[in-house]
Chain A
Amino acid sequence: MRLQDHPGSSLYALVGCALLGLLLLALPAAAQEAARAPEYRAFPLIGSRLAVWAIAQLHLNFAAFILGVPIFAVIIEIMGWRTGEQRYDWLSHEFVKLTFAAFSTTALLGALLLFLFVGYYPRFWAYMSGIFYPTFSVYAMLFFLETFTVYLWYYGWDWLSGSKKWIHVCLGVLSNLFGTAILFVSNAWVTFMTSPGGIDEAGSLTSLWGAINNYTWMPINIHRLIANVTFGGTIAAAYAAVRFLQAKTDEERARYDWMGYVGNFVAISALMVLPFAGYYLGREIYAFNQTMGITMMGGFMSWLWVVQAILIGILFLGSNYYLWLGMERIPGSERYRRYIPYMIMILAAGFIVWATPRSIPLTPSEARIMGGTHHPVLGVLGVMSAKNTAVNLMILTTFLSYLLYRRANKESVKPWVGTGMAAQWLIFAAAATVVTFYGVYGYFVESIVRIGYSVYQVLAVLGAIALVMAIDIPMFRGARSTGQIRWGTIAPRSQYVLILLAVTFTWLMGLMGFARSGIRQHWHVYGVARDTSVDAWTPALGYAANMITIVTAVFFALVLFIFWLGGLGEKGKAEGHGHVAPAIAGGSDP
């Protein structure tokens, strides 16, 4: 172990942990104090709400990154361990190095957020701690366990190698389990604010488990877990992109081209299932409270989903574009380029449908000219039937892009290749038909029935992905190569696509955070603890967008600074922890 690699980082993390621990232990006294304190205090200059908003969003961004990246880092480490390929071990170490540098900042931001709640929202915090106090000690314990496990995992990379590698992998898995448990505990607090449970009509606790296991707890757990992986993938890919653009040698360019590809691959894989987790969350919000669900989708927040649709459309288009650019560095990919225009058409059409609003706020004269608030033709595309169909077809198309990329330099030598290919096309066609059928049929049934159709559409797409891959893997096993991937030769603009994806996803996270918090409107805890502060109003999208942009810019500035700090210890070295950076140029397959 070489503890001197990140001495500053270690110190900050320990200080952060100690602060958090002390603060959590001091909470009963703080809560008693809060009961006598005024309901609110005003944060200087910007006000309490903006202060909490900024710190909460920053904390969430960092937390998502340090929880998401280790999930796929350990999977990559296992791949390296089982296949014996050193490059995977190096890559896993690179990813963990990134999260390690951000660890202490996450802890410090968390402590700062807690200070803000205790200091500026004392009554609210007294109420929340009255409900969740028993979970605070669990959270603190998990935080310590997570910290020490990650330290062991990172610093034990060389020490636990060779025959002891399995212990190292177990540490990686363990740190992920602790990290996920931390996520679940803190999700209980935040989801309770949206969909409180386990309390009586007066807001008094009747069941702690009921408060934890509220309507939106499990959907948010799943949604955040998947989104964290996507987010981690995009940030890691953006890091690789910057390193690619800064690279002085072909070897370095090749290494970071590959790293960017893997980061993006992870991000797309998780992104494809994210909408399904979103539907689950939406359904549970409706199940908890119809009014809240309707306010979210059809009330003052309805325009937010148009912005969200555009961002997700950019993510899908960007991911596909990156894959298509990547195919240019693969000999033999020319065979598949003819499909690209059709895929662009499907993606663009899906994008347009998803971004079409259902109803438009109009002046009475405008509404008269259009014949109502719904456009006579385009309004039809604004409902969930059309949008579910569009997004499922976009996911299928993205999967097709990946499939073509995967086989770009391969020619199957299996005698049943023709049948296999035909079966794959048939599966694609069947899935697209099921998705379209239920999309159209959804217009003719009640909404409660229509919601159920989205499950069939999702199952058709997921089933198609599983079946196609089940055929593809054996079909291309031992395939003839048409040439090796020329890592490092990808067009530089592809790296800006990776940066675009990272910025877009981070901005999208800020937007979704606003949506999750904003649907409570003038309630701290929906229907239980009313917001009576001067900030009880819920801002419009423009105001929220300004705030999201400022925080996202600060986040990236901090990330750059932290990565720069993290890299200081290894300045001038092509290795970390004795890890020789692998030569990848012109080398191997993904």
Chain B
Amino acid sequence: MRVPVLVKVAVFALVVMGAYTYYANSIPQLRSEPPEELSLEGGNVTPEQLVKAGEGIFKGKGTCEVCHRIGQKGTRAPDLGGIGASAAKRKAGTSAKAYLIESLLDPGAHLVEGYPNIMPKVDRPPIGLNRSELWALTAFMESLGGTVDVKLDDIPKTAGSAAGGGQVAELKLPGDPKAGQAVFMGKGGCIACHKAGSVGASPVGPDLSQIAKIQTPEYIMAKILNPAGMGTVAGYPGGVMPATLGQTLTAKEYLDLVAFLLTLKGEGAAPAAKK
């Protein structure tokens, strides 16, 4: 039987494409995942936890490893081995901590001789680290030969303001903080795990006493509705926070709760309670 030309051509083309597909499937498969937001809102993390979280950012979301090496001279960027100690000597009158933070936020300010000015500002898109992440990353770099003494307050308040990519508009929510506090303590059940200023004391979840200072309104709103999707705070178990608040709370209760959380700026007693 004579095979038609078109059939032969089709089989040939499929074999060629099959070979390419097989080869592409047989080499290492690297998939790029979108980075998760790290939140350290409670501030009750140990230096070890902070350094570990910072190392994760160094290797992951921060993309630092693309250019920097630790203990090995890079062609594009300086070796960061011992940077925790050497940073203190780089600029007279500037501590290691201040030098590292400034280098992350404005890399062009402290160029190492022999290296081009190619490092992006890490709190801006596309890397877009938030304040918690900058805090952890600084701690990790301090740990490379130095002492970990960075505090969240050392990270400028303006840092990471556009971390999500695109503008973060100031939100004016119609919620009532006082009613929100009631939801926090009652129907929402948040108090079972979280502390919020003078309200609650449970250590199960992160302390939210200064959540409004360290997280954006968008993050807070999204976290309530989709806790797993927004990542888990370092040092706390994942999967504990219920994902059903979006269904159990009414729209008003949800807005009230957010409004309450946005009053938590670490000033001791919950502002709503002061009113």
- Interface set of A (CB-CB < 8 Å, partner B): 201-204, 242, 245-246, 289-292, 294-295, 298-301, 303, 306-307, 310-311, 360-361, 446-448, 496, 499-500, 503-504, 507, 518, 521-523, 526-531, 536-546, 548-549, 552-553, 556, 560
Do A307 and B27 have beta carbons less than 8 Å apart?
Answer: yes
Given contacts A201-B162, A289-B120, contact A306 B75 (CB under 8 A): no
| Bound CA span A541–B166, Å | 30
Contact of A523 among B9, B23, B66, B126 (CB under 8 A): B126
Residue pairs across A and B with CB atoms within 8 Å: the count is: 144
* Secondary structure dominating the interface of B: loop
**Complexed CA–CA distance, A536 and B31 (Å):** 11
Q: Which residues of chain B (22-68) have a CB below 8 Å from chain A?
A: 23-25, 27-35, 63, 66-67
Take A203-B166, A299-B66, A530-B166 as given contacts and tell me if A242 and B32 are in contact as well, using a CB distance cutoff of 8 Å. Answer: no
Q: A202-B162, A530-B166 are in contact. Are A504 and B16 (CB under 8 A)?
A: yes
Q: Are A527 and B125 in contact (CB under 8 A)?
A: yes
Instruction: Please determine whether A539 and B20 come into contact, CB atoms closer than 8 angstroms.
Output: no
Contact A523 B24 (CB under 8 A): no
A to B CB contacts below 8 Å, 23 in the list: A202-B162, A242-B5, A245-B9, A303-B30, A307-B27, A310-B23, A446-B75, A496-B12, A500-B12, A503-B16, A504-B16, A504-B20, A522-B32, A522-B34, A527-B125, A528-B125, A530-B164, A541-B30, A542-B24, A542-B25, A545-B20, A545-B24, A560-B6
Q: How far is the CA of A245 from the CA of B69 in the complex (A)?
A: 58
Q: How far is the CB of A16 from chain B (nearest CB, A)?
A: 27
Q: A47 CA to B19 CA in the complex, in Å?
A: 27
Given contacts A202-B166, A294-B76, contact A544 B30 (CB under 8 A): no
Within the assembled complex, what's the spacing in Å between the Cα atoms of A545 and B126? Answer: 27
CA distance A361 to B167 in the complex (A): 37
| Least CB separation from A243: chain B residue | B5
A545 pairs with B21, CB closer than 8 A: yes
CB contacts (< 8 Å) of A549 on chain B: these are: 17-18, 20-21
Residue among B18, B21, B127 having the largest count of chain A Cβ atoms under 10 Å: B21
CB distance from B123 to the nearest CB of A (A): 12
Max chain A CB contacts within 10 Å: which of B23, B24, B128? B24
Interface size class of B (residues with CB under 8 A): 35 or more
Residue from B9, B25, B35 in contact with A522 in the complex, judged by beta carbons closer than 8 Å: B35
Q: Which residues of B contact A499 (CB under 8 A)?
A: 9, 12-13
CA distance A528 to B165 in the complex (A): 5
Min CB distance A195 to B, Å, is 11
Q: Which residues of B contact A (CB under 8 A)?
A: 5-6, 8-10, 12-14, 16-18, 20-21, 23-25, 27-35, 63, 66-67, 75-76, 116, 118-120, 124-128, 162, 164-167
* Cβ-closest chain B residue relative to A247: B5
User: Is the pair B31, A300 in contact by a Cβ cutoff of 8 Å?
Assistant: yes
Please give the distance in Å from B78's CB to the nearest CB on chain A.
Answer: 14
Cα distance A306–B17 in the bound complex, in angstroms = 16
Q: Which residues of B contact A503 (CB under 8 A)?
A: 13, 16-17
CA distance A300 to B66 in the complex (A): 10
Select one of A361, A529, A536, A556 contacting B13, CB under 8 A.
A556
What is the distance, in angstroms, from B29's C-beta to the closest C-beta of chain A? 4
CB neighbours (8 Å) of B118 from chain A are: 290
A534 vs B27: C-alpha distance when bound (angstroms): 26
Measured between alpha carbons, how far is A294 from B66 in the docked complex, in Å?
A: 7
How long is the Cα–Cα vector from A545 to B18 in the complex, in angstroms? 10
Closest chain-A Cβ to B233's Cβ sits at a distance in Å of 20
In contact, B24 and A544 (Cβ under 8 angstroms):
yes
> A507 to chain B: which residues have CB within 8 Å?
16-17, 20
Q: How far is the CB of B191 from chain A (nearest CB, A)?
A: 30
A531 lies within 8 A of B29 (CB): no
Tell whether, in the assembled complex, residue A531 and residue B5 are in contact, meaning their CB atoms are under 8 Å apart.
no
Please indicate the chain B residues that have their CB under 8 angstroms from the CB of A529 in the complex: 165-166
**Complex: how many Å from CA A179 to CA B88?**
60
B-chain residues with CB within 8 Å of residue A299 when the two chains form the complex: 63, 66
Which residues of chain B are within 8 angstroms of A537 by Cβ–Cβ distance? Answer: 31-34
Q: Contact: B24 with A447, CB < 8 Å?
A: no
Determine the distance from Cα of A188 to Cα of B76 in the docked complex, in whole angstroms. Answer: 31
Q: Which residues of B contact A548 (CB under 8 A)?
A: 21
Residues of chain B lying within 8 A (CB to CB) of residue A530: 125, 164-166
Q: Which of B5, B27, B35, B119 contacts A303 (CB 8 A)?
A: B27
Residue pair A447, B76 in contact (C-beta under 8 Å): yes
What is the bound-complex CA distance between A571 and B21, given in angstroms?
37
With a CB–CB cut-off of 8 A, which chain B residues contact A303?
Answer: 27-28, 30
- Looking at the assembled complex, report how far the CB atom of A467 sits from the nearest CB atom of chain B, in whole angstroms: 36
Cβ contact within 8 Å between A539 and B31: yes
CB-based contact A553/B20 at 8 Å:
no
Which of the residues A242, A301, A527, A541 comes within 8 Å of B126, measured between beta carbons? A527
